[in-house]
């Protein structure tokens, strides 16, 4: 019997190995063919009098693990523009189009926004400024939409001509944020929650212990939304020659503006159909109106072939842009997280690289593990001692995101960046009730009073809570001391503006938490100045992602994600619920202490 099992096992293993080799060779061959085809020099060309098409449904992020070749393959197979593009790609491509005589106009296409973009307004602010530079060059911008959200309109409002479909509408109802609370469900299922925190505004724990917003949390969220909404009204109003007060009146009295009314309120220029937009674009490209389309090139395609001014530098002097995007977690972290160990190692590598003359730390993170934040901050501080470290804040750079930023030589933020949240908390869960109700009990033998303090089988005792609170207090005051030292602020002032409260970028500048209002390119130019590089430098972006071969193999094996579609309302709420629960999964700090944004920042 033993010999039979041995032979059978060997046969199965041999078959599997043979199948794997056959399958692997076929896969590698397929990948090689695809790469070869994608790498040929028979790619798209920019024709004279072309219109650059910018799909407003694109998600614009700081980083995108998808390589340009992989993106080209996906677009070729699907016939659609990829859903994600990086901020630097958008800005550099728009700047290139300004200098390219073959590009005569820009078309902001809102007709394909079947999926909602999650691009934040600080990111959109930088894109909008690039659109304004395009417009100032004398080239036309035409925007078309059917049902325009505020994010899309924030960009479209730059256009020389905004056209809305006769059946379309324009969202102009202000911003709102609707946190989800799990307290009732936790009580129902018998899951206990105990909280330790410092800072009356540190409200990340509220969804698990309250059933509605606390007074302090409501106050800070209201102030933050007001700042962001004020920036929106001022910026859009200036482009459309409408006062902020008029936009507020529209938000209060209408909310959703129909096409026929939008033109009377100067929010758009024309009411028209898609074919009429095509005809207008054909006039710009000098084509016959009998054609169904116009001479065009998509933004993502043009990005791969455009001659981008200032980006094709070759120098021994490097400015490294290091992206900290996602939750800050202890350890290595995933591709969508900032791992304390891996990120610190990357910063250390840049510090020791003599060819790297300056580092731009781009932060787009709500924070997370206090331990990981401290590990990263130490490397930031050490790097600053040997070369300039300039911080550029994106949509969110709060709590742990601010912790890792505070020792930068200079901190840039957009007016609608969410930052601050100087505070810490701990969330202690137990499953005693639900376990007991299902017949599960525990007993313990221990050699010290606090030997079982990490158990989830019971609530923490008052003595254990006091011990945890002491640790949280120490971490909080360390956080404050670091901010006071790095920002050269009195500790008493830092204590007043801390308490876990979040601030907009414009408020943060007034409070001394950031130095300058500006975007990523502003931070890069400043880094070059501080390193005394003149024009003799080139840009390197970190972290580096998987190669195309690795990604194709992973996707071929079934790990690729399906294309996103606009979820139905019930599914949308479920996805919000899933996102909120993901916050718990990212909580892996070894001390259970977190410097994180007080909530999952999300507003409509």
Residues with a known catalytic role: 202, 399
On the question of pLDDT at 50 being above 60, the answer is: yes
On the question of pLDDT at 487 being above 50, the answer is: yes
Q: Please give the average per-residue pLDDT across 512-541, as a whole number.
A: 96
Note the pLDDT of residue 111: 85
On the question of pLDDT at 566 being above 50, the answer is: no
Note the pLDDT of residue 312: 60
**Confidence band (pLDDT; 50, 70, 90) for 315?**
confident
Q: Please report, for residues 113, 152, 172, 239, the alpha-carbon distance to residue 232 in angstroms, rounded to integers and kept in the order given.
A: 21, 12, 10, 11
For 181-215, letters b (16+ CB in 10 Å) and e give bbeeebeeeebbbbbbbbbbbbbbbbbbbeeebee
On the question of pLDDT at 154 being above 90, the answer is: yes
Q: Please give the average per-residue pLDDT across 440-457, as a whole number.
A: 90
**Confidence band (pLDDT; 50, 70, 90) for 288?**
low
Specify which of 429-433, 445-449, 525-529, 591-595 reaches the highest per-range mean pLDDT: 525-529
Q: Please give the average per-residue pLDDT across 490-514, as a whole number.
A: 95
On the question of pLDDT at 1 being above 50, the answer is: no
Contact 117, 85 (CB under 8 A): no
Q: Tens digit of pLDDT for each residue in 5-17?
A: 444 444 544 444 4
Least confident piece of the model among 407-411, 504-508, 599-603: 599-603
Q: Tens digit of pLDDT for each residue in 19-33?
A: 444 445 454 455 555
Note the pLDDT of residue 298: 94
- Catalogue all structural domains in the chain, each as residue range(s) with its CATH number: 50-173+254-305 (3.90.226.10), 318-423+461-558 (3.90.226.10)
**Tokens 């200098």, residue?**
99
Note the pLDDT of residue 572: 56
Pull the structure tokens for residue 448.
Answer: 């010290």
Q: Tens digit of pLDDT for each residue in 111-140?
A: 876 555 689 999 999 999 999 999 999 999
Note the pLDDT of residue 383: 98
**Confidence band (pLDDT; 50, 70, 90) for 39?**
very low
Note the pLDDT of residue 22: 47
Note the pLDDT of residue 196: 86
Q: Please give the average per-residue pLDDT across 337-355, as a whole number.
A: 96
The whole-angstrom separation of Cα 547 and Cα 550 is 5
The separation between CA 570 and the C-alpha centre of its own chain, rounded to angstroms, equals 24
Q: Please give the average per-residue pLDDT across 476-499, as a whole number.
A: 95
**Confidence band (pLDDT; 50, 70, 90) for 299?**
very high
For 47-58, letters b (16+ CB in 10 Å) and e give eeebbbbbbbbb
Note the pLDDT of residue 307: 75
Closest CA to 258 of 165, 174, 176: 165
Contact 384, 360 (CB under 8 A): no
Note the pLDDT of residue 116: 58
Q: Please give the average per-residue pLDDT across 193-220, as a whole number.
A: 87
**Confidence band (pLDDT; 50, 70, 90) for 560?**
very low
| Percent of the chain residues topping a pLDDT of 70 | 78
On the question of pLDDT at 369 being above 70, the answer is: yes
On the question of pLDDT at 521 being above 60, the answer is: yes
* Higher-confidence position of 420 and 204: 420
Q: Please give the average per-residue pLDDT across 594-603, as a whole number.
A: 64
Note the pLDDT of residue 555: 53
Note the pLDDT of residue 4: 42
Note the pLDDT of residue 221: 92
- State the pairing for strand pair 538-542/389-398: unpaired
Residue 337 is classified by DSSP as: E
Q: Please give the average per-residue pLDDT across 245-253, as a whole number.
A: 96
């Amino acid at each position: 019997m033993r010999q039979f099992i041995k032979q059978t096992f060997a046969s199965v293993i041999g078959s599997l190995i043979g199948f794997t080799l056959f399958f692997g060779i076929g896969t590698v061959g397929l990948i090689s063919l695809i790469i070869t085809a994608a790498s040929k020099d028979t790619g798209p060309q920019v024709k004279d009098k072309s219109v650059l098409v910018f799909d407003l449904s694109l998600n614009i992020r700081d980083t995108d693990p998808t390589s340009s070749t992989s993106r080209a393959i996906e677009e070729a197979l699907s016939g659609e523009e990829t859903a994600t593009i990086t901020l630097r790609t958008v800005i550099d491509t728009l700047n290139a189009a300004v200098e390219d005589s073959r590009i005569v106009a820009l078309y902001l296409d809102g007709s394909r926004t079947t999926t909602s973009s999650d691009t934040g307004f600080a990111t959109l602010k930088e894109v909008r400024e690039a659109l304004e530079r395009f417009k100032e060059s004398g080239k036309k911008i035409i925007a078309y939409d059917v049902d325009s959200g505020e994010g899309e309109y924030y960009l479209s409002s730059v256009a020389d001509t905004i056209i809305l479909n006769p059946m379309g509408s324009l969202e102009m109802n202000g911003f709102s944020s609707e946190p989800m609370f799990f307290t009732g469900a936790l009580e129902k299922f018998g899951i206990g929650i105990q909280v330790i925190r410092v800072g009356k505004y540190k409200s990340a724990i509220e969804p698990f212990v309250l059933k509605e917003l606390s007074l302090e949390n409501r106050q800070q969220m209201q102030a933050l939304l007001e700042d962001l909404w004020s920036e929106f009204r001022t910026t859009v109003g200036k482009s459309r020659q409408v006062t902020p007060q008029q936009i507020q009146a529209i938000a209060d009295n209408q909310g959703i503006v129909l096409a026929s009314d939008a033109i009377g309120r100067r929010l758009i220029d024309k009411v028209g159909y898609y074919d009429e937009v095509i005809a207008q674009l054909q006039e710009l490209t000098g084509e016959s109106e009998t054609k169904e389309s116009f001479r065009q090139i998509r933004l993502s395609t043009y990005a791969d072939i455009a001659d981008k001014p200032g980006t094709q530098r070759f120098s021994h002097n490097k400015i490294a842009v290091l992206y900290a995007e996602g939750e800050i977690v202890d350890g290595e972290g995933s591709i969508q997280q900032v791992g304390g160990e891996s990120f610190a190692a990357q910063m250390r590598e840049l510090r020791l690289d003599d060819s790297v003359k300056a580092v731009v730390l781009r932060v787009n993170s709500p924070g997370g593990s206090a331990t990981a934040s401290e590990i990263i901050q130490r490397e930031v501080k050490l790097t600053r001692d040997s070369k300039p470290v300039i911080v550029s804040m994106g949509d969110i750079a709060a709590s742990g995101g601010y912790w890792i930023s505070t020792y930068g030589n200079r901190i840039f933020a957009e007016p609608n960046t969410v930052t601050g949240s100087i505070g810490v908390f701990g969330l202690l869960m137990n499953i005693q009730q639900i376990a007991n109700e299902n017949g599960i009990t525990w007993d313990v033998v221990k050699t010290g009073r606090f030997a079982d303090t990490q158990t989830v089988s019971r609530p923490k005792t008052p003595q254990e809570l006091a011990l945890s609170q002491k640790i949280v207090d120490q971490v909080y005051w360390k956080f404050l001391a670091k901010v006071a030292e790095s920002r050269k602020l009195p500790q008493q002032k830092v204590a007043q503006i801390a308490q876990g409260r979040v601030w907009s970028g414009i408020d943060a500048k007034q409070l001394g938490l950031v130095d300058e209002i500006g975007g990523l390119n502003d931070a890069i130019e400043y880094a070059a100045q501080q390193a005394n590089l003149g024009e003799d430098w080139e840009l390197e972006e970190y972290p580096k992602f998987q190669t195309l071969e690795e990604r194709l193999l992973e996707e071929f094996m079934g790990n690729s994600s399906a294309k996103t579609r606009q979820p139905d309302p019930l599914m949308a709420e479920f996805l919000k619920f899933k996102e909120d629960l993901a916050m718990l999964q990212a909580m892996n700090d070894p001390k259970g202490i977190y410097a994180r944004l007080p909530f999952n920042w999300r507003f409509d």
